[in-house]
Amino acid sequence: MNLERLKRIFADQGCKKVYVKTLAKNDDSKHQPYLGGDEIFNLFPTSEIKAISSESWDRERFIATIDFAWIAEDGALFQAPNTKFILYPKYPEVRLSGFLRGCSNGPSRVMNTPLYGRLLFLSVSTAGRILGYAAFPDSQIAAELRAINTQQEGVFATFNLSNSDNRTILLNELARIHRLDWITSKRLDRLGNIMACDAPNCGGYTLEAELGITPNGYSEPDFLGWELKQFGVDNFNRIGSAVITLMTPEPTEGLYVSQGVDYFIRTYGYPDQNNRPDRLNFGGIHKAGVRHERTRLTMELIGFDGVTGKIRSSTGRIVLVDEQGNEAAAWSFASMLKHWNRKHNQACYVPSLSANQPVRQYHYGNLVTLGVDTDFQLFLQQMFIGNIYYDPGIKMENVSTRPTVKRRSQFRIKSSFLGNLYKSSEVVDVTHC
């Protein structure tokens, strides 16, 4: 194996970027190589995240299963079915586990030789599979790696598999779209065909259509590794006062799950405030530690220490508690961790104006916010201080006859606080790039 051949193998699998970790002497199948903090969940996709509770904070952990395969010397791929990421939130740190167990042709000699300087190459295929290759420090591929320019990202040396500057490409495309002025609302189907779009939430679809982004079932960032978030404003010169929906996960625990959403709305909902008959709503801004006047529920962060900004319990959760202490609805940290990290490591927030006459149309602003490098504990910290809040739009119509329910759980933030969610953020004028 040499570097050019390894690049071709990665590229043939649809990989875009390669991460290289220099292994410590004791990094082996027993001691679990260290990969960094929970930003690893931003870089690599996971299948499922489970919380493992312990009496000791040192052993509290999240275990994330991943689709992982080793690249052999002849270029063949060998599945490593027991590979996992283990996150210890106290530190926080993520370690790689089970990467040789059950694999018919894994690099056991390289990975279990106690030698500093071994190299672990990792990348992600189009299908969401993580591919790995391991090399000794005196190998040809190690010498070739030392001869090329790499960027340091956390514990990884990284390089792209093409020479394109994805950030510049994105900003240039957004500048082009801004200069188009008003764009008729549209969306793309899975085959890339342009379809009409006449709903109030078509701003995101129209932006994606203009960038050629088609719907897909794999939860990946939208455009060249960047997650795009469109948000409506009234004025391009005042983009800091808009409200942005960050994500819309359904509760995973509480009476909402055990008794059903029908019970939840009838118990905690309230008559429609616009006097629409036979309708119950469940909405309003719910902030941590504040009892909501209409729903009578208080949002709490169980298992998170707001002073240190760390998760204290892997079984922690965001929870709505009623006046009797019942958990009306809850979102486990494990489920929220998966929702948040993967698609928000590189995010671009684009403001838009909208109009309905003569047809629905959008105009996208020149000032965009870029956020890079996030982790879930930053999200929880913003919830703790009230900058992120729960603002659902749940309703039940025809309550007394044939009830129909609409579910929409929304976690939202004012655009002026976006920078707090990332370790690096900036507002960029795309027309000056």
Ranges of the chain with pLDDT below 50 = 217-218
The whole-number pLDDT of residue 90 equals 87
Say how far apart CA 178 and CA 155 lie, in whole Å. 37
Phi-psi region of 307 (alpha: psi -120 to 50; beta: other; left: phi over 0): alpha
At the topology level, CATH places domain 168-432 in Alpha-Beta Plaits (3.30.70)
Same fold, 3-160 and 168-432: no
The whole-number pLDDT of residue 119 equals 98
Per-residue pLDDT reduced to its tens digit, 196-251: 999 988 999 999 999 998 875 445 567 888 889 999 999 998 899 999 999 999 99
Which residue is associated with the tokens 């997650």?
Answer: 227
Question: Taking a C-beta distance cutoff of 8 angstroms, is the pair 184, 194 a contact?
Answer: no
Say how far apart CA 412 and CA 128 lie, in whole Å. 28
Which residue is associated with the tokens 């990290």?
Answer: 341
User: Closest Cα to residue 244, out of 264, 262, 265, 227?
Assistant: 227
The whole-number pLDDT of residue 170 equals 96
Per-residue pLDDT reduced to its tens digit, 263-297: 999 999 999 999 999 999 999 999 999 999 999 99
Give percent helix, percent strand, percent coil of the chain, each to the nearest 5.
Answer: 20, 35, 45
The whole-number pLDDT of residue 216 equals 57
Percent over 90 (pLDDT), the chain: 82
The whole-number pLDDT of residue 221 equals 60
Domain map (residue ranges) of the chain: 3-160, 168-432
Say how far apart CA 43 and CA 32 lie, in whole Å. 18
Q: Is the peptide bond before 137 cis (omega within 30 degrees of 0)?
A: no
Element (H, E) at 12: helix 3-12
Matching CATH number, 3-160, of 2.40.330, 3.40.50, 2.60.40, 3.30.70: 2.40.330
DSSP 8-state code for residue 117: T
Say how far apart CA 104 and CA 79 lie, in whole Å. 8
